[in-house]
Amino acid sequence: MQNNSDLIKQDSFTIIRQQKVLIVRLLNEISVINNNGSNLIESFKHFNILLLELKKESDSPKEYYELYIEVYDVLTILLNYLKANHLKLFHLTDIYELIQYSNNLVPRLYLLITCGVAMLGFNTFPHIEILKDMIEMLNGVQHPIKGMFLRYYLLQRCKFIFNDEKKAVSNEFKIDFLIANFIEMNKLWIRLQYQGQLREKSSKLKERKEVELLIGYNLVQLTEVLDLEEHNLSLKLYRENTLPRILKQVISCRDIISQEYLLDILFQIFPESYHCDLTCIDLYLSSFLKLTPKTNISKSVVTLIDQIISQADQNKEENHKSTLDGGILFDKFLKFLKYLNEERPDLPFKDFIVILSPLISLVLKLIDPESLKLRLDCLDAVFSFINFKKRDYAITDEINFLLKRVFFSIKDFIEPDSSLPYSLLVECPNVDEFLLNSGSDFIRYEMLDMIIKYRIQDKSQIPLKDLSRLLKHFETNSYTIMSKSELVFKIFYMLVDSKVIISSSFEQSITDQFESLQYCKNWVLNLKIKYAKADQKGKIDFLTNGLVSQYWRLLKKIITLRKSKQKKIFEKFDKTLLKQIFKNLGGLIFEVNHKKKMLSSLVLSVDLAIQLNLHNVAFDFLESILNEINQNFDINDKYNVLLLLIEFLQKDRQYFIKNSLQDKFEQICVKVTVKSFEMNDVFLKSTLLLTCTHLWWTSDIDENNALKYNNENNGKRIHEIMNKLIQQITSNSLVTNYQLCFVLIQLLNKAIYYFIHGEIEFFTIQYLNNIVKLLKNNLKFLERENRLYLEQIQIVQEDTPDKDFSIDDLFLNFDGEIASTEDKEVDPDVNLINFKKNLLLFDSFENIKTYVLEQGSLDERFNLLTI
């Protein structure tokens, strides 16, 4: 079959070439005898034979095109001959008639056009009449391929007329002519779909695609005609004359391939500036509404918008003042969308969605950021449309994906410091709704991320009225809150203004910020109720803590005020508001599940209360802390909290004394000491208690850099605590020698401290010597342990490698364990560790000895110590 058609094709080529040879011979022979043009008449016979090849039906448009090219070539010989010999050998009018005797239509018309075109080369002939006649006669060819190629032939040959600037033929006529040809060609092209044998639809489509350029050629010629005019006039011609007619054909042809192709090339062929004309845009949009159901409308709409945007870019590049008003354009497109929605309920959702991204780009590109603030309704309207449409469709993954893209088209435009995302969320209820209902958390996160980034840059606080809108987005499901708690944290951060501007409105601003904090507090509390079970990783605790620190920031601002020169403002400050803040804060802190954090926060809050001179608040907090420290509490946490508390109390001791709050303070200190005694771990207990001793002792330095004795110091109480500690550890049989020695060394250190700082009533030489004696006795046991260990090692040493007995870089931690200043690997041998621990203790004791000896030269009392 294939071979057969190849043969036929080869035959056709052979015929064409043979005839060409004969024709060339006839037309080149300019003999005297044949000066009446009879050679030409003779040649027509051959032309007819040759042209019959184009009358045959070809297998495919492609093959037909190959033949056409060959024939075109030969017809060019004729054309040149006709032009060259007019009036010399014949008159073209006669030839024009003579040609028409050819019985076969297709050959006749090729000859007619060739002759007609030859006539168009002379001004003596009426151009318009000839053009009209040619195009009219072409109607006889109703066969799609043959007709299209004939009309294409006409276009190719008449090109010089269309490009002619002299306007021998008016541009209006040229446009009419080209549009008429275009319409007929398009009709033929569509007919190709239905003509001939019923073949596979796909092969028909392929055939149509092969010849689509022929149609486009009409439009290419049209632009050339329009180009001959000044821009304003050419635009007018396009708008009023050309485009409406093209679009009319696009609509009335009701063919999908044609509509899609034509709309596509329309935008490609004609310059962007034409498409941006408002009237033209109206024409486009109204014709899009009338397209055949299956035609891809959205593609055309998108192309149109792209053209407008690209024109706008070009204007910008060339620094032309753009006449494109983004707002007006947007309104047009929105109106179109709404019409489309009404008129075409059959269109799938995604066809609408794909239009939206470019539309958003249009708004963002064509409306400058300042004006956009007044036209946020544009963007809101886009999302309003989405929200509205979403109700009617099942939201598939694909839809979600597309919606995401719509949203990201905004993102792509946003400068890092733009306030747009924030304004969108706050001022566009539909954007807000879209985000809330979007199936994809991802979109929401991106948006919130952008907002938050901007706000961080902006450093301004988030007002209360916007807060609920923001936070709503985190409540939707437990996953959001769990995975995006950092974002919420950042929001919390932005509740409190970082700048401290002390002015008359200071109090008001504090009140406002406090209200926001309160709102968030309630929000967090609700969250806790709602998602307590889902919150495995303590993210809500994280948030609660985060919020607590914002309260602190707020309070610190007030402290800054208090410490500033404008104390008067602080004095006028509403103290009930302060108390209110603390009350709130306290309530919030108690919601923290993590006890250590909760208590630490309380301790820090007490500090703030003190700084704001709110003793009652401070004591309330302290009481609560002590109530909270009870038995069911991790020992290390308890230790840490107590230590923190002790250190804090110690720091503010002077404050309490100055404000005649000594009694109350004393009570608290006693309670803390009692709590410290309750510790089970010997090391932790001793550390805590020894720290506690400072609660009754303040060492001040006077102007001469000398130690100053403070009347409020209470050596007796310290002595009591120490004695009680010694008593407890010596009487407890569970305490090891090592533990005992460790505590005694600490204790000795502390005792020496008070001894140096002038406590003479209780920390006598006698007392110190007793401790040393006790220590020395116990150290002997440890020495023996070490000796035994070494002996044991020597016995088995032969088959074990050398052990590292060095204690360089090692020290003892507060919990009695070895720590290293470097990351040394600890030998897992327990005996070896104990050996080293002992060595370290000896070392510590040696240090004390050295110290005492050195002090002896400064302070005679030290010489009396028997170390």
Q: Which residues bind to other proteins, rule: CB under 8 A?
A: 55, 97-98, 100-101, 103-106, 108, 136-137, 139-144, 146-147, 187, 191, 195
Instruction: Choose between 106 and 115: whose C-beta lies nearer to other proteins.
Output: 106
Instruction: Choose between 98 and 577: whose C-beta lies nearer to other proteins.
Output: 98
Q: What is the DSSP string of 362-398?
A: HHHHHS-HHHHGGGHHHHHHHHHHHHHHHTTS---HH
Instruction: Choose between 144 and 216: whose C-beta lies nearer to other proteins.
Output: 144
Give the angle subtended at the CA of 259 by the CAs of 275 and 248, to the nearest 5°. 70
- CA 467, CA 461: separation in Å to the nearest integer? 10
Look up tokens 């054909």; give the residue: 249
Instruction: Choose between 196 and 327: whose C-beta lies nearer to other proteins.
Output: 196
Question: Minimal distance in Å, beta carbon 103 to other proteins?
Answer: 6
Question: Minimal distance in Å, beta carbon 99 to other proteins?
Answer: 10
Q: Which helix (H) or strand (E) holds 820?
A: strand 818-820
Question: Minimal distance in Å, beta carbon 146 to other proteins?
Answer: 6
Instruction: Choose between 97 and 829: whose C-beta lies nearer to other proteins.
Output: 97
Instruction: Choose between 107 and 216: whose C-beta lies nearer to other proteins.
Output: 107
Question: Minimal distance in Å, beta carbon 188 to other proteins?
Answer: 8
Which amino acid belongs to residue 74?
Answer: V
Instruction: Choose between 77 and 98: whose C-beta lies nearer to other proteins.
Output: 98
Question: Minimal distance in Å, beta carbon 425 to other proteins?
Answer: 57
- CA 399, CA 350: separation in Å to the nearest integer? 6
Instruction: Choose between 141 and 403: whose C-beta lies nearer to other proteins.
Output: 141
- CA 831, CA 821: separation in Å to the nearest integer? 22
CA distances from 165 to 168, 177, 226, 232, 242 (A): 8, 17, 11, 17, 19
Instruction: Say if CB 110 and CB 150 are below 8 A apart.
Output: yes
Question: Minimal distance in Å, beta carbon 54 to other proteins?
Answer: 10
Instruction: Say if CB 547 and CB 586 are below 8 A apart.
Output: no
Beta strands 707-708; 810-812: pairing state: unpaired
Instruction: Choose between 103 and 731: whose C-beta lies nearer to other proteins.
Output: 103
**Phi then psi dihedrals of residue 652, to 5 deg:** -95, 10
Instruction: Choose between 58 and 600: whose C-beta lies nearer to other proteins.
Output: 58
Residue 453: closest CA among 413, 499, 406, 486: 486
Question: Minimal distance in Å, beta carbon 263 to other proteins?
Answer: 23
Question: Minimal distance in Å, beta carbon 71 to other proteins?
Answer: 16
Instruction: Choose between 55 and 344: whose C-beta lies nearer to other proteins.
Output: 55
- CA 17, CA 625: separation in Å to the nearest integer? 110
Instruction: Choose between 180 and 839: whose C-beta lies nearer to other proteins.
Output: 180
Instruction: Choose between 103 and 504: whose C-beta lies nearer to other proteins.
Output: 103
Judged by DSSP in three states, 90 sits in strand
CA distances from 434 to 353, 384, 437, 462, 515 (A): 13, 8, 5, 21, 28
Count CA atoms closer than 13 A to 71's CA, side-chain side.
26
Question: Minimal distance in Å, beta carbon 4 to other proteins?
Answer: 20
Question: Minimal distance in Å, beta carbon 102 to other proteins?
Answer: 9
Question: Minimal distance in Å, beta carbon 165 to other proteins?
Answer: 32
Question: Minimal distance in Å, beta carbon 181 to other proteins?
Answer: 15
Instruction: Choose between 1 and 198: whose C-beta lies nearer to other proteins.
Output: 198
- CA 203, CA 18: separation in Å to the nearest integer? 33
Question: Minimal distance in Å, beta carbon 97 to other proteins?
Answer: 6
Look up tokens 């602080």; give the residue: 570
Helices of type H across 459-505: 464-475, 478-483, 485-493
For residue 273 the two structure tokens come to: 């500036």
Q: What is the 3-state secondary structure (H, E, C) of 55-80?
A: HCCCCCHHHHHHHHHHHHHHHHHHHH
> How many of the other CB atoms lie within 10 Å of CB of 409?
18
Instruction: Choose between 136 and 846: whose C-beta lies nearer to other proteins.
Output: 136
Instruction: Say if CB 510 and CB 554 are below 8 A apart.
Output: yes
Question: Minimal distance in Å, beta carbon 130 to other proteins?
Answer: 14
Instruction: Say if CB 493 and CB 517 are below 8 A apart.
Output: no
Query: Dihedral, CA atoms, 804, 807, 812, 813, nearest 10 degrees?
Result: -70
Bridge partner residues of 708 (DSSP): 700
Question: Minimal distance in Å, beta carbon 108 to other proteins?
Answer: 8
Question: Minimal distance in Å, beta carbon 190 to other proteins?
Answer: 9
Residue 606: closest CA among 661, 539, 543: 661
Bridge partner residues of 707 (DSSP): 701
Judged by DSSP in three states, 228 sits in coil
- CA 356, CA 346: separation in Å to the nearest integer? 18
- CA 277, CA 235: separation in Å to the nearest integer? 8
Instruction: Say if CB 516 and CB 493 are below 8 A apart.
Output: no
Beta strands 707-708; 818-820: pairing state: unpaired
- CA 427, CA 469: separation in Å to the nearest integer? 10
Instruction: Say if CB 448 and CB 484 are below 8 A apart.
Output: yes
Instruction: Choose between 120 and 141: whose C-beta lies nearer to other proteins.
Output: 141
Question: Minimal distance in Å, beta carbon 143 to other proteins?
Answer: 3
Question: Minimal distance in Å, beta carbon 255 to other proteins?
Answer: 12
Instruction: Choose between 55 and 375: whose C-beta lies nearer to other proteins.
Output: 55
Q: What is the 3-state secondary structure (H, E, C) of 695-736?
A: HHCCCEECCCCCEECCCCCCHHHHHHHHHHHHHHHHHCCCCC
Instruction: Choose between 44 and 514: whose C-beta lies nearer to other proteins.
Output: 44
- 533: buried, middle or exposed (CB in 10 Å: 19+, 13-18, 0-12)? exposed
